């Protein structure tokens, strides 16, 4: 009897899923490439959507910084949601059954110590584009996988290979997505096109084992993440186990010389001009003897990369070569010292070439002199022979000779 009831419940659940697919699903073709998923549904999730049967309570907070995202509810304004790794550890440790399943999904030894150490090494990041993942719910003591599209602005944790492995709104573990040829999307906006596969930023394994976020603040270069679907959160909540800073011994003689303070600045010369001008970008106030990265954003949105090496005073410049058909409008250059995070921004405006003001205007001429020059060009220049008194034109005279004749008549 119990077996019949279980089968009847399973058939009812399947019927509910089918009705939901007909009523609210959006069919789309995915960008296939890997093995097909067994389940032919994908769930669209906003950044603040907990989703079904989450592993934990929200393990994120609103941070002091804002990360710019390209679309979604935060598009144009940015997202301040950031993962709190210690809160995620605490939530999992309080529920050992969930911690075991969380560890099993990610291939970890299911102990609090191992999971906590793993989470503390993950990097908080913010999705800047909609991103496909394999998400997991916690149902009847087990992790149940489902395909999901996480909307831009979602706070996640990424591992040393740059792969998102946890969604902090629900504490769910994540894996790489399984792309299907066709699927029903629940919650997708009308006429929605699924995102392409995400590009991951692969961290250097030699550097990844360094605890703390201070290293990533120094090593973070915005241009490294141009084609990646997320950005590292610049100032995440702190974690336990970060090595304390060493106290500098008090000098017994004179104190050691402090590192020179930097006051980064940037400027274009000219600050505005035409396509015929030569433009030079100047940097000053940076560290001496370093190579600075230059990110130039053109008026059409295309990003170009250059570099400037500073001299002994922390200054340098780069002169841009003439382009065959430059794009008109504002150009914005951002100069960055990846070693310190110092940045400076400069802008210039490029306009069309102006016509020379010294060209003749013959129809009509603007002066007597211009009229004579135009007549000379046409081969009708007045001859320098005296004109009869009754043919003189003295006001104004038409030539120097006529002016002299007029003076004699007077």
Q: How far apart are the first and last CA of the chain?
A: 134
Q: Give this prediction's pTM.
A: 0.50
In tens, the pLDDT along 5-46 reads 444 444 444 444 444 443 444 444 443 334 444 447 899 999
Does position 85 have pLDDT exceeding 80, yes or no?
Answer: yes
Name 305's Cβ contacts closer than 8 Å, sequence gap at least 6: 223, 293, 294, 295, 296
In tens, the pLDDT along 223-260 reads 666 667 888 888 888 887 654 444 555 556 555 555 56
Name 92's Cβ contacts closer than 8 Å, sequence gap at least 6: 55, 56, 98, 99, 102, 112, 115, 171
Question: SS3 of 9, please?
Answer: helix
In tens, the pLDDT along 160-196 reads 888 999 999 999 999 999 877 777 888 888 888 888 8
User: Whose CA is closest to 33, among 238, 226, 179?
Assistant: 179
Least confident stretch, 55-59, 160-164, 270-274, 369-373: 369-373
Residue 117 has what pLDDT? 92
Residue 6 has what pLDDT? 45
Residue 106 burial class via C-beta count within 10 angstroms: exposed 0-12, middle 13-18, buried 19 and up: middle
Cβ proximity of 266 and 335 under 8 Å: yes
Distance CA 93, CA 83 (A): 17
Residue 300 has what pLDDT? 92
Rounded (5°) CA angle 180-108-139: 55
Residue 27 has what pLDDT? 47
**Bridge partners of residue 175, in order along the sequence:** 134
Does position 139 have pLDDT exceeding 90, yes or no?
Answer: yes
Q: Are strands 60-67 and 79-83 parallel, antiparallel or unpaired?
A: antiparallel
Across the beta sheet with 272-274, the strand order is 272-274, 343-351, 329-336, 291-297, 303-309
Distance CA 83, CA 230 (A): 14
Residue 93 has what pLDDT? 95
Is 405 or 246 the better-scoring residue by pLDDT?
A: 405
Cβ proximity of 275 and 326 under 8 Å: yes
Average pLDDT over residues 294-300: 93
Does position 88 have pLDDT exceeding 90, yes or no?
Answer: yes
Residue 389 has what pLDDT? 53
Average pLDDT over residues 45-71: 88
Least confident stretch, 47-51, 209-213, 258-262, 299-303: 209-213
Average pLDDT over residues 149-167: 91
Across the beta sheet with 131-139, the strand order is 25-29, 182-186, 41-45, 142-150, 131-139
Does position 276 have pLDDT exceeding 90, yes or no?
Answer: no
Average pLDDT, whole number, for the chain? 78
Does position 53 have pLDDT exceeding 50, yes or no?
Answer: yes
In tens, the pLDDT along 324-346 reads 788 899 999 999 999 888 999 99
Distances (CA, A) of 344 to 218, 282, 360: 16, 10, 45
User: Within its chain, how far is the Cα of 189 from the centroid?
Assistant: 24
């Amino acid at each position: 009897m119990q077996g019949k009831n279980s089968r009847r419940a399973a058939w009812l659940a399947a019927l509910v899923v089918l009705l939901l697919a007909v009523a609210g699903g959006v069919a789309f073709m995915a960008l296939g490439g890997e093995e097909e998923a067994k389940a032919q549904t994908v769930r669209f999730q906003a950044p603040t959507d907990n989703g079904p049967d989450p592993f934990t309570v929200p393990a994120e907070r609103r941070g002091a910084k804002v990360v710019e995202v390209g679309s979604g509810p935060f598009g144009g304004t940015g997202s301040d949601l950031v993962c709190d790794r210690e809160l995620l550890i605490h939530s999992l440790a309080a529920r050992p059954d969930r911690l075991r399943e969380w560890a099993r999904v990610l291939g970890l030894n299911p102990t609090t110590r191992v999971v906590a150490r793993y989470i503390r090494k993950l990097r908080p990041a913010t999705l800047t584009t909609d991103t496909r993942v394999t998400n997991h719910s916690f149902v009847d003591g087990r992790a149940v996988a489902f395909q999901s599209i996480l909307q831009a602005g979602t706070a996640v944790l990424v591992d040393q290979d740059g792969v998102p492995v946890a969604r902090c709104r629900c504490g769910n573990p994540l894996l790489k997505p399984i792309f299907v040829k066709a699927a029903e999307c629940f919650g997708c906006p009308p006429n929605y096109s699924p995102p392409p596969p995400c590009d991951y930023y692969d961290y250097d394994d030699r550097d990844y084992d360094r605890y703390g976020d201070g290293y990533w603040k120094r090593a973070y270069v915005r241009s490294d993440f141009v084609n990646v679907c997320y950005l590292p959160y610049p100032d995440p909540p702190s974690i336990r186990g970060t090595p304390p800073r060493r106290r500098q011994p008090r000098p017994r003689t004179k104190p050691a010389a402090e590192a020179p303070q930097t006051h980064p600045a940037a400027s274009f010369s000219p600050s505005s001009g035409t396509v015929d001008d030569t433009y030079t970008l100047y940097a000053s106030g940076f560290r001496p003897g370093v190579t600075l990265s230059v990110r130039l954003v053109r008026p059409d949105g295309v990003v170009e990369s250059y570099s400037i090496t500073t001299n002994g005073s922390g200054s340098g410049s780069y002169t841009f070569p003439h382009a065959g058909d430059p794009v008109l409008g504002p150009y914005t250059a951002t100069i960055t010292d990846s070693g310190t995070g110092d940045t400076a921004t400069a802008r210039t405006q490029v306009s069309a070439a102006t016509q020379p003001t010294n060209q003749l205007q013959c129809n009509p001429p603007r002066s007597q002199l211009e009229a004579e020059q135009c007549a000379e060009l046409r081969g009708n220049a007045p001859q320098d022979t005296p004109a009869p008194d009754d043919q003189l034109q003295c006001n104004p005279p038409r030539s120097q000779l006529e002016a002299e004749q007029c003076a004699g008549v007077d």
